[in-house]
Amino acid sequence: MKKEMMKAITVMLATAMLTGCAAYPDTNTAAGTAASDAASVASSAAETTNAADAAAGTSDLPAEDAAGAVADTAGQDGMTEQTIPLYIGEIGNKKDLSVYFFNGSNVPYVTIDFATNALDEMLDHDHEYEISQDGDTVTVTRKGTPFTAVFDFAEDTISFLDYDAFMRIEGEALVSFGGMTGEFGYLYQPIAELTNDRYGKEMCFDLKPYEIDLVKKDDGYYVPLHTLSDLFLSYYNAYELFNGESVIVAPGLDERLSDLYYSSASERTEDFATFDYHELCFMLDHMYGLKEIHGIDNFDEYFYEIGVKKRLMGTDQSEADAALYEFISCYLDDLHSGFMAESCGSDPGKIAELAGGIYGPWKTKFNGWIDEFEAERNKAYPDGYLPYEEVGNTAYITFDSFVAPREDIDYKSEPTEEELGDTIRLMQYSYDRIMREGSPVENVVMDLSMNTGGDINAACYVIGTYLGVGSINVKNTMTGATTTSQFHIDSNRDGRFDEKDTLADKGLNLYCLISPVSFSCGNLVPNEFKADPHVTLIGKTSGGGSCSYMPMATAGGTRFKISGYRRMSTFKNGSFYDIDRGAEPDLYIDRISDYYDRKALNKIISGK
């Protein structure tokens, strides 16, 4: 189970790095269309309705899973301990967890080893962390390293010598982007001398401004359950959900975990609602990657300015969910952020009534552009576009998403036409056709005009196919840490990583066709091409999207995703430059119809 969990996390990181698509069951789609928003709300309502069946005893969950089997222990001096089930990753991985409540509050606290045990479980570690105590401080050390997390219970702070290094996945880059490792690592050859990491600043998370308390009582040290989730689990695109009777830790909910989660709900009291709000502000202040670009000093002020603070702090969970939906969909209005599913404490279907169909001006424009470009392409290709085609002396390679590599495909074998829906196979097939003996191809156009993102592994392979030496550059906007990874690929599948594996330096004219719809990985790839003198960008400025999405949950259990702190960048003159504003074309195309009239496009690129 641990290996399966680790595999899921790696896939999540790779797909979340720059995607417009869902990588797990409970998310909305990337384009952020009204239809996808409505579907997300409807889906969450359906989850809640199914969960009501579980609570009523009609679920197929075992009775002990549906109910939660809570054991209460009345503590002294205002502390109450409960033993409840903890599920990590799946319904079959069940353990006991002690949660604590103080002074009549229903904000759940746990001991620090909740986080370390969960990380050991998720990352397939064997007791990776050591915990030591000294008066008012508890220090968690990653074994064999100098990297620590220090909890100061007198000052209400949590400090990391180096956050990225403490969280680092073995074999991954310092600022992990989930690419070129694991079972598909054989497709890439890192260039060690051209790969480097810059460690980030020491991080001190001060909880006092957010009224979040660390509690030391007698010999015990207690931390809010959700604070640990936000600081430790979110790095791996996982989160914690608490419904009053059980805790779930996962990178997403399958049907059985969803039924379990919605089978119960704790009361949203005034003190819990206040904590939920402050924890949300804490998480967004540190982890929203576009905070500076959006001109947000802090989210408490921002929530007040856009008129949602009162509802977010209120005791009506449905109203709080609707306010969160409005904030993300209408005001953040970035395409990597979105509402995923309502809390177990919301009324089924209420979110659709209160906030369904609300979205902002940028998302509205983006949806309109998708419709326009799709309509023009459909006119040119009424039977569907061709992934690979040759028109005269020009080869066109067209794909609308970067599809993650699959276990059932042998990427060392000869690609077939039936496999061209797979991005890596499309690159291999195109390479073979372009480089075949007697090929008439002189120009190659990679058409990303309708590409809204996808998997970072596929994006790396595409970059390598065109440039020979691929490059991925990532900056953690929270810590300042950076990673530059450069690599070769093996396009011709001969087992060697050499100059024969790329279209670069073969006397070909290389182009990339972009549009305002080219988003996320569809924006990353042309930005990498833009930095290379051998590729010409044609079309209109790409649609941006620089930060990976992070799936998150509020303390109240409302799930959403944000543009996180891992920001893809271009690397020039030793500096990292944000790509959120898109890549400017070298050659503009005025009419959308010319994008898909390949003969007309041939004349444009030949200057005729």
pLDDT tens column, 10-54 = 555 555 555 543 332 333 333 333 334 434 444 444 444 444 443
Q: How many CA atoms lie within 13 A of 499 on its CB side?
A: 3
CA distances for 186 relative to 5, 179, 328, 490, angstroms: 21, 12, 39, 9
CA 159 to chain centroid: 24
Residue scoring higher pLDDT (80 or 178): 80
* Mean pLDDT of the region 504-521: 96
**DSSP helix/strand/coil, 74:** strand
List the structure tokens of 211. Answer: 């009224």
Q: How confident is the model at residue 330 (pLDDT cuts 50, 70, 90)?
A: very high
pTM of the model: 0.88
Closest CA to 155 of 212, 111, 202, 116: 212
CA distances from 165 to 151, 159, 469 (A): 17, 13, 27
pLDDT in tens, 194-247: 888 999 999 999 999 999 999 999 999 999 999 999 999 999 999 999 999 999
pLDDT, mean over the chain: 87
Two tokens at 108?
């759940």
Tokens 């680092």: give the residue.
168
Q: Quickly tell me which residue has 């880059």 as its tokens.
A: 173
Task: Identify the helix (H) or strand (E) that includes residue 222.
Answer: strand 220-224
- The whole-number average pLDDT for the span 404-413 is 94
Residue 226's nearest CA partner among 106, 51, 104 is: 106
Determine what percent of the chain is predicted with pLDDT higher than 70. 86
**Cβ-contact 180, 487 below 8 angstroms:** yes
Number of helices (H) and strands (E), helices first, in the chain?
Answer: 18, 27
Q: How confident is the model over 348-380, as pLDDT tens digits?
A: 888 878 877 778 999 999 999 999 999 999 999
Q: Give the span between the Cα atoms of 435 and 130, in whole angstroms.
A: 55
pLDDT band, very low/low/confident/very high, at 193 (cuts 50, 70, 90): confident
Q: Tell me the C-alpha to C-alpha distance, in Å, between residue 525 and each of 272, 292, 449, 530, 583.
A: 44, 24, 12, 9, 9
> Measured between alpha carbons, how far apart are the two ends of the chain, in Å?
60
Comparison of pLDDT for 562 and 74, the residue scoring more: 562
